[in-house]
């Protein structure tokens, strides 16, 4: 009888462990790659329900290890990024709360490198995808590199890092079809989300306009987790990090984002590059929320839960320094692409909390860089190397650029100081904060993490009516791309625990015949949390048009005095004017002078500008009224609630674009004397009343 191959043999399964009986049929038991059955795939192993992660967690380590190594050499997440050099300057000494080097002296400047990114898309995706934005800051301090690896949203989808591979697998393109790219509008993502109530707070943020920022320069950044500051005496203070843009926050609307991606998929990259090259250096202020153990114990939510935030009205953000980006990279690959950020890169004066997501990231990021950059010597790459002295006994390995000199490559050794190499320094070396930990070693989620809806509701009710409308529209769009009705219904069942009006708007937009029952909640949604104005973009608009750009659509015969007056007013504001003309060769102005063009109509659509000016001559207006790109220029600017300046010659174009009867207070007839007033009006950034009236 012919022997069966191993592959043909039926391998016995331990009694009681064959399958789980579920409504959908027999489901195999989840195992490790070694075949060990998994009892809990929802929680990593920790010491006590709120304690630190355990290094022996074999399932977590294998799961994250494999996930980190899925792609070569592109980042698994945050693949599409853009970076720049700069510095951090302290406003004051914080030596009373931290021994961290950048904060020891007022005015101290610390070199910095910052990388912005999208999360879900691959390296070749577009800039204006609806997505979380990475905001990673590397500070080259005098005591080593400190990486603040954050996002433009202060919370996250999950509470435990063991779920990160599942989250990203669900968010990325589906593995059989390999699409959709850089989008969450598909079944896998929303199926996962609908089964993870802890994600609902983050869902509110990514469905808001925070997920489609106008520019890196106009978005906030957050450290996400709770960290510790530790002063020279060993006293610990909890801290959360915030980056506040000097130019204020600004986002786009969805229709605009879609069109920008078509017109310029590198829009954010180009914006950052051009700003720095022109000397308009982007700036953010570093803010810290400082609180002690007593506050942590009394706070309504757990400060170790990455799906929660601390409202700024409860713990004010103290602005302690500024981040300035003043130099573009010399080579994108050598610097931006090879930049390696690790949450575990901290310096004396900074320490971790027991946040289970942070604990997992500390393992994952180092492992990721090892694989992506080819080995353990990625710190030999200049962009990752510290700028302070560095001495150790680590040697060899793939692509080692330098090795310790001398005979000693171990410690302790008995050789003298000349040959023996570096020694540890108990007095000034890094020490972990000696937090006391106790508890059972188990896989468990703390009961203090159980409220999944209250802060989601707080975020939603803190938005303006315009922002709430955008959130409902975003949810309808995303869920309309979901093919399975049951998934849509499950998501709405969660929304009912957040806000009835929001759930109703989504139900109506999806055409659901009736609302489902609210999803079961581990904790009842609190209705007493106060509105937090700091959570709204529109309520925190900076009263400036600085750093923005106006596109002026012109033709032959344009009034040169109008153009010059507008340019002067914008320059005074710190803004820019770009000329858009029928040809890139420019136009002949009314005074016979030549006006050079920055863009050709169609190549410079209104979506890439913050406001527009329609300034054709009478004859020119009639001519371009027959051009589709010119009509789109006006129609899109109007539909996207932008401020519009115009001259008499614009009338035919307005009529053909279908907006002549709808002119409102956001449309201003431009005069030489009134150019400054128009620019001041543009400080509001959008004329949202137009959108509201259209709705």
**CATH, residue 146:** 2.40.180.10
In terms of domains, do 283 and 135 share one?
Answer: yes
- How far apart are the C-alpha atoms of 302 and 615, rounded to whole Å? 56
Determine the distance from the C-alpha atom of residue 430 to the mean position of all C-alpha atoms in its chain, rounded to a whole number.
30
In terms of domains, do 176 and 266 share one?
Answer: yes
Q: For residues 23 and 29, is the Cβ–Cβ distance under 8 A?
A: no
Q: For the residues 31-57, what does the mean pLDDT come to?
A: 88
- Residue partners of 531: CB distance under 8 A and separation at least 6: 458, 461, 462
512 found inside a domain: yes
pLDDT interval class at 1 (50, 70, 90): very low
Instruction: Quote the tokens at residue 406.
Output: 């001398």
Q: For the residues 182-205, what does the mean pLDDT come to?
A: 98
In terms of domains, do 528 and 569 share one?
Answer: no
Q: Does the predicted TM-score (pTM) go above 0.75?
A: yes
Nearest to 312 by CA among 286, 284, 290, 295: 290
> What percentage of the chain exceeds 90 in pLDDT?
82
In terms of domains, do 606 and 564 share one?
Answer: yes
Cα Rg, the chain, nearest whole Å: 28
pLDDT: which is higher, 541 or 660: 541
Owner of token pair 């930049």: 339
370 found inside a domain: yes
In terms of domains, do 331 and 370 share one?
Answer: yes
Tens-digit pLDDT profile for residues 276-330: 999 999 999 999 999 999 999 999 999 999 999 999 999 999 999 999 999 999 9
Q: What is the pLDDT of residue 426?
A: 85
Neighbours of 92 (CB within 10 A): 13
Owner of token pair 């975020």: 459
Domain boundary among 505, 539, 573: 539
> What percentage of the chain exceeds 70 in pLDDT?
96
Q: For the residues 547-559, what does the mean pLDDT come to?
A: 98
47 found inside a domain: no
- Residue partners of 566: CB distance under 8 A and separation at least 6: 550, 552, 577, 613, 645, 670, 675, 678, 679
User: By mean pLDDT, which of 190-194, 205-209, 383-387, 486-490 is the weakest?
Assistant: 383-387
Q: Domain range holding 331? A: 62-384
Neighbours of 543 (CB within 10 A): 10
Total structural domains within the chain = 4
Strand 19-22 versus strand 45-47 pairing type: unpaired
183 found inside a domain: yes
Q: For the residues 487-507, what does the mean pLDDT come to?
A: 98
Q: For the residues 244-258, what does the mean pLDDT come to?
A: 98
In terms of domains, do 371 and 498 share one?
Answer: no
User: By mean pLDDT, which of 184-198, 366-380, 576-590 is the weakest?
Assistant: 366-380
Tens-digit pLDDT profile for residues 302-315: 999 999 999 999 99
Which CATH number does the domain housing residue 669 bear? 3.40.50.880
Nearest to 460 by CA among 289, 204, 232: 204
User: By mean pLDDT, which of 82-86, 386-390, 515-519, 557-561 is the weakest?
Assistant: 386-390
Return the H-helix or E-strand segment holding 25. Answer: strand 25-28
- Residue partners of 120: CB distance under 8 A and separation at least 6: 77, 129, 131, 132, 168, 171, 172, 182, 183, 184
Average pLDDT, the chain: 93
The values of phi and psi at residue 140, to 5°, are -90, 80
Instruction: Quote the tokens at residue 517.
Output: 């029952």
Q: Is 254 exposed, middle or buried (0-12, 13-18, 19+ CB in 10 A)?
A: middle
Which CATH number does the domain housing residue 470 bear? 1.20.1370.20
Tens-digit pLDDT profile for residues 571-605: 999 999 999 999 999 999 999 999 999 999 999 99
CA angle 460, 466, 470 (to 5 degrees): 70
pLDDT interval class at 397 (50, 70, 90): confident
User: By mean pLDDT, which of 335-344, 389-398, 476-485, 593-602 is the weakest?
Assistant: 389-398
Catalytic residue numbers?
78, 151
Secondary structure class of 155 (helix, strand, coil)? coil
Does residue 643 register a pLDDT over 80? yes
Q: For the residues 452-480, what does the mean pLDDT come to?
A: 98
510 found inside a domain: yes
Nearest to 304 by CA among 243, 366, 238, 231: 238
The values of phi and psi at residue 245, to 5°, are -70, 135
Q: For the residues 402-407, what does the mean pLDDT come to?
A: 85
pLDDT interval class at 72 (50, 70, 90): low
Domain boundary among 485, 516, 539: 539
Instruction: Quote the tokens at residue 84.
Output: 């720049």
Query: What counts of helices (H) and strands (E) characterise the chain?
Result: 20, 22
In terms of domains, do 479 and 507 share one?
Answer: yes
pLDDT interval class at 19 (50, 70, 90): very low
Q: What is the pLDDT of residue 13?
A: 38
Q: What is the pLDDT of residue 39?
A: 86
39 found inside a domain: no
Nearest to 422 by CA among 438, 439, 405: 405
Instruction: Quote the tokens at residue 560.
Output: 């040169």
11 found inside a domain: no
Q: What is the pLDDT of residue 58?
A: 81
In terms of domains, do 253 and 369 share one?
Answer: yes
- How far apart are the C-alpha atoms of 23 and 675, rounded to whole Å? 68
In terms of domains, do 80 and 222 share one?
Answer: yes
Domain boundary among 358, 384, 410: 384
Does residue 24 register a pLDDT over 80? no
- How far apart are the C-alpha atoms of 434 and 478, rounded to whole Å? 46
Q: What is the pLDDT of residue 146?
A: 96
2 found inside a domain: no
For the CA atoms of 205, 210, 216, 221, what is the dihedral angle to 10 degrees?
-40
pLDDT interval class at 29 (50, 70, 90): confident
- How far apart are the C-alpha atoms of 596 and 114, rounded to whole Å? 35
Instruction: Quote the tokens at residue 280.
Output: 């308009």
Does residue 548 register a pLDDT over 80? yes
In terms of domains, do 400 and 476 share one?
Answer: no
Annotate 422-457 with three-state secondary structure: CCCCCCCCCCCCCCCCCCCEEECCCHHHCCCCHHHH
In terms of domains, do 329 and 469 share one?
Answer: no
Q: For the residues 617-644, what does the mean pLDDT come to?
A: 97
Q: What is the pLDDT of residue 22?
A: 40
User: By mean pLDDT, which of 64-73, 417-426, 470-479 is the weakest?
Assistant: 64-73
- Residue partners of 507: CB distance under 8 A and separation at least 6: 492, 514, 515
In terms of domains, do 471 and 484 share one?
Answer: yes
Q: What is the pLDDT of residue 601?
A: 95
- How far apart are the C-alpha atoms of 648 and 670, rounded to whole Å? 9
Q: What is the pLDDT of residue 450?
A: 98
């Amino acid at each position: 009888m012919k022997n069966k191959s191993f592959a043909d043999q039926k391998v016995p399964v331990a009694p009681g462990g064959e399958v789980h009986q579920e409504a959908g049929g027999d489901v195999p038991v989840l195992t490790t790659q070694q075949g060990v059955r998994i009892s809990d795939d929802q929680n990593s192993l920790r010491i006590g329900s709120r304690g630190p992660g355990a290094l022996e967690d074999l399932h977590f380590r294998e799961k994250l290890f494999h996930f980190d190594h899925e792609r070569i050499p592109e980042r698994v997440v945050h693949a599409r990024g853009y970076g720049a050099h700069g510095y951090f300057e302290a406003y004051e000494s914080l030596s009373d709360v931290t021994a961290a080097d950048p904060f020891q002296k007022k005015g101290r400047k610390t070199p910095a490198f910052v990388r912005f990114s999208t999360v879900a898309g691959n390296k070749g995706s577009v800039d204006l995808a609806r997505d979380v934005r990475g905001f990673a800051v590397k500070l080259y301090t005098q005591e080593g590199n400190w990486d603040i690896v954050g996002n433009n949203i202060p919370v996250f989808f999950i509470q435990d890092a063991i779920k990160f591979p599942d989250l990203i697998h669900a968010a990325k393109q589906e593995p059989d079809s390999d699409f959709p790219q850089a989008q969450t509008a598909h079944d896998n993502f929303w199926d996962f989300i609908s089964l993870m109530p802890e994600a609902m707070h983050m869902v509110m943020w990514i469905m808001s306009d925070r997920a489609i920022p106008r520019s890196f320069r106009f978005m906030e950044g957050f450290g996400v987790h709770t960290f510790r500051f530790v002063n020279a005496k060993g006293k610990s203070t909890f801290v959360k990090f915030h980056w506040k843009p000097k130019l204020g926050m600004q986002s786009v609307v969805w229709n605009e984002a879609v069109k920008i991606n078509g017109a310029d998929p590198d829009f954010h990259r180009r914006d950052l590059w051009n700003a720095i090259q022109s000397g308009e250096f982007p700036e953010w202020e570093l803010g810290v929320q400082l609180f002690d153990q007593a506050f942590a114990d009394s706070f309504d939510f757990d400060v170790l839960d990455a799906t929660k935030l601390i409202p700024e009205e409860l713990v004010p953000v103290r602005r302690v320094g500024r981040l300035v980006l003043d130099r573009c990279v010399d080579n994108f690959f050598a610097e931006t692409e090879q930049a390696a950020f690790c949450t575990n890169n901290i310096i004396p004066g900074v320490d971790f909390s027991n946040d289970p997501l942070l604990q997992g990231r500390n393992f994952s990021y180092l492992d990721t860089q090892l694989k992506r950059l080819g080995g353990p010597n990625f710190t030999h790459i200049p962009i990752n190397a510290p700028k302070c002295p560095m001495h150790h006994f680590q040697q060899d390995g793939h692509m080692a650029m330098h090795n310790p000199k001398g005979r000693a490559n171990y410690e302790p050794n008995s050789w003298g100081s000349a040959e023996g190499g570096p020694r540890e320094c108990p007095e000034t070396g890094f020490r972990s904060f000696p937090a006391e930990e106790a508890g059972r070693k188990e896989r468990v989620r703390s009961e203090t993490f159980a409220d999944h809806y209250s802060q989601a509701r707080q975020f939603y009710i803190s938005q303006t009516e315009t922002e709430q409308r955008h959130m409902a529209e975003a949810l309808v769009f995303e869920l309309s791309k979901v093919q399975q009705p049951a998934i849509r219904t499950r998501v709405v069942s969660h929304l009912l625990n957040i806000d009835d009006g929001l759930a109703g708007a989504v139900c109506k937009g999806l055409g659901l015949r009736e609302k489902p029952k609210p999803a079961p909640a581990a904790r009842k949604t609190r209705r007493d949390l106060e509105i937090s104005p700091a959570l709204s973009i529109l309520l925190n608009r900076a009263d400036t048009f600085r750093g923005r750009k106006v596109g002026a659509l012109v033709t032959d015969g344009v009034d040169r005095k109008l153009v010059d007056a507008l340019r002067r007013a914008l320059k005074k504001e710190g803004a820019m004017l770009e000329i858009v003309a029928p040809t890139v060769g420019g136009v002949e102005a009314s005074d016979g002078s030549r006006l050079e063009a920055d863009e050709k109509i169609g190549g410079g659509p209104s979506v890439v500008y913050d406001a527009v000016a329609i300034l054709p001559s009478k004859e020119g207006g009639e001519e371009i009224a027959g051009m589709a790109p010119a009509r789109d220029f006006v129609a899109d600017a109007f539909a996207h609630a932008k401020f519009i300046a115009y001259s008499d010659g614009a009338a035919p174009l307005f009529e053909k674009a279908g907006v002549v009867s709808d002119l409102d207070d956001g449309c201003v007839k431009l005069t030489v004397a009134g150019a400054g007033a128009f620019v001041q009006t543009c400080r509001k950034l959008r004329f949202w009343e137009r959108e509201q009236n259209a709705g």
